[in-house]
Amino acid sequence: MRIGLLTGGGDCPGLNAVIRAVVRRGLQGENTFVGFRHGWSGVLADDAIELTLASTAGILPRGGTILGTSRTNPFADGQDGTTSIRRTLQARGVDALVPIGGEDTLGVALRLHREGIPIVGVPKTIDNDLGGTDVTFGFHTAVQIVTDAIDRLHTTAESHNRVMVVEVMGRHTGWIATYAGLAGGADAILVPERPFDIDQVAAHLRRRHERGRSFSIVVVAEGATPREGSLQVRHGSATDAFGHVRLGGIGVTLEEELEARTGYESRVTILGHVQRGGTPVAFDRVLATRFGVAAMDAATSERFGTMVGLRGTAIVEVALEQALAESKLLDPKLYETAELFFG
Ligand code: F6P
């Protein structure tokens, strides 16, 4: 078979491990590989490279993606990229396409599958908000990066008696904020799933400091929202090809508002794309490798319209349609556990 690969959406530690695993697994049979560059844009414009044992050697621990990525949407602004995509796949002799991406990239994959294009998806996002899988690769790397940052912020917060606000990624969900907040001993965690009241957060910090604590760590997901009407947050106005607003800025608002309400000196750290950069942790390398092997097996068996995933400790295949039906929101029990340590 001839397999086409692409990586779409935000980059994520472990993408190269998937590419390597698909190729290595596929080379155990009579398969060849073409890698489309920069997500769907490479398929639309027929921009691709040959993937071989040699060209995928040594990439297991490398962050980013050797194929490049983009947020190109073949269906943006009412367009229909299906014809161009079909033309490229035919010209390149592609028998199965393996897109590695999050809800947007895989949403395009589902639409193409419905048009009869043979597709097997691989879930990717540091946000960990995709359905159909317990975990996405990249998430644990992001959590480790944030945890390391919180550890460092703890010592400077303690030295200066400050409130440290740490803004982390998480557009729709607070998985990174809650995991890293729990691991780093945060004193408050604000997530999109639970709209917050700024006065309650300030009161909580005051109570904590009155009990003798001299500093606080507040972790906030970029997509966290204040209770309606309670606070104005300044996000940018730019949107991507899938209509998502560029987030970022809630941390700055919190720094100002918490300092104004409590009188405690406050500082914000916005971790941003640091969370997506660099080498994947071992868990993500293993998960990405298992996903790559499973995707190759699904493709050779022509189980199209599926996405590979992790359920418990087992690798499974789920229908793309089912996986994309709704976002995987934060487990409330996990948040309640983190909350026990806010004191
Ligand atoms: O890939 C998910 C994500 O990291 C979100 O958490 C974040 O809102 C977004 O990507 C940032 O996208 P970009 O890299 O395009 O600024």
> What pLDDT does 164 receive?
98
Q: Which residues are catalytic?
A: 127
Q: Which whole number is the average pLDDT over 294-316?
A: 98
Using one digit for the tens of pLDDT, what is the confidence trace for 225-258? 999 888 888 777 788 999 888 887 899 999 999 9
Question: Residue 10 C-alpha to ligand 1 middle, in angstroms?
Answer: 6
Between strands 306-311 and 314-319, the pairing is: antiparallel
* CA-222 nearest atom, ligand 1: 8
Protein residue closest via CA to atom 10 of ligand 1: 10
Name the residue at shortest CA distance from atom 1 of ligand 1: 10
pLDDT > 90: what percent of the chain? Answer: 93
Measured from the Cα of 102, ligand 1's closest atom is: 1
pLDDT tens digits, residue range 138-197?
Answer: 999 999 999 999 999 999 999 999 999 999 999 999 999 999 999 999 999 999 999 999
233 lies in some domain: yes
The pTM (predicted TM-score) of the whole model is 0.96
Residue 302 has pLDDT above 90, yes or no: yes
d(Cα 307, Cα 294) in Å, to the nearest integer? 9
Q: What's the 147 CA to ligand 1 centre distance in angstroms?
A: 19
Q: Look up the CATH number of the domain holding residue 9.
A: 3.40.50.450
Residue 107 counted as domain residue:
yes
Would you state the pLDDT for residue 149?
A: 98
CA-closest residue to ligand 1 atom 9: 10
Same domain, 180 and 244: yes
Q: Are residues 6 and 133 in the same domain?
A: yes
Q: Do 273 and 144 share a domain, yes or no? A: yes
Residues 262 and 159 in one domain: yes
What atom in ligand 1 is closest to the CA of residue 9? 1
* Beta carbons of 125 and 150 less than 8 angstroms apart: no
Q: Is residue 336 situated within a structural domain? A: no
Residue 159 Cα to ligand 1 middle (Å): 33
Residue from 11, 12, 128, 169 to probe ligand 1 pocket by mutation (most atoms less than 8 Å from CB): 169
Question: Quick one: 96 and 196 in the same domain?
Answer: no
CATH number of the domain to which 163 belongs:
3.40.50.460
Give the mean pLDDT of the chain.
97
Mean pLDDT, rounded, for 2-29: 98
Q: How many domains does the chain have?
A: 2
Q: Are residues 125 and 9 in the same domain?
A: yes
- Together in a domain, 163 and 185: yes
Residue 10 CA: nearest ligand 1 atom is: 1
Same domain? For 111 and 127 the reply is yes
Mean pLDDT of 320-327: 97
User: Ligand 1 centre from 142 Cα, in Å?
Assistant: 12
Classify residue 339: in a domain, yes or no: no
**How many other C-beta atoms can be found within 10 angstroms of the C-beta atom of residue 27?**
15
User: What is the rounded distance in angstroms from the CA atom of residue 141 to the CA atom of residue 279?
Assistant: 8
On whether both 178 and 94 belong to a single domain, the answer is no
In ligand 1, the atom with minimum distance to the C-alpha of 12 is 1
Q: Do 243 and 315 reside in the same domain of the chain?
A: no
pLDDT of residue 237: 74
Q: Domain of residue 313: give its range.
A: 2-138+280-323
Find the DSSP H helices in the chain: 15-26, 40-44, 82-91, 103-114, 139-160, 175-184, 198-210, 250-262, 282-300, 320-323, 332-339
pLDDT at 343: 81
Question: For residue range 74-97, what is the model confidence (pLDDT) as tens digits?
Answer: 999 999 999 999 999 999 999 999
Which residue's alpha carbon is nearest to atom 15 within ligand 1?
10
144 and 116 in one domain?
A: no
334 found inside a domain: no
**Dihedrals φ, ψ of 6, to 5°?**
-155, 155
Select from 11, 12, 22, 68 the least CA-distant residue to 42. Answer: 68
Q: Is residue 329 part of a domain?
A: no
Phi, psi angle pair for 335, to nearest 5°: -65, -40
Which of 171, 274, 276 is the best mutation target for the ligand 1 pocket, counting ligand atoms within 8 Å of the beta carbon and taking the most?
Answer: 171
Residues 171 and 289 grouped into a single domain: no
Atom 12 (ligand 1): residue with closest C-alpha? 10
List, for residues 91-138, the tens digit of each pLDDT value: 999 999 999 999 999 999 999 999 999 999 999 999 999 999 999 999
- Whether 338 is covered by a domain: the verdict is no
- Calculate how far, in angstroms, residue 239's C-alpha sits from the geometric centre of ligand 1: 11
Q: In this predicted structure, what is the pLDDT of residue 143? A: 98
Read off φ and ψ for residue 140, nearest 5 degrees: -65, -30
Q: Which residues line ligand 1 (CB under 6 A)?
A: 9-10, 102, 125-127, 169-171, 222, 246-247, 276
Distance 125 CA to ligand 1 centre (A): 9
Which pLDDT does position 293 carry in this prediction? 99
Residue 332 located in a structural domain: no
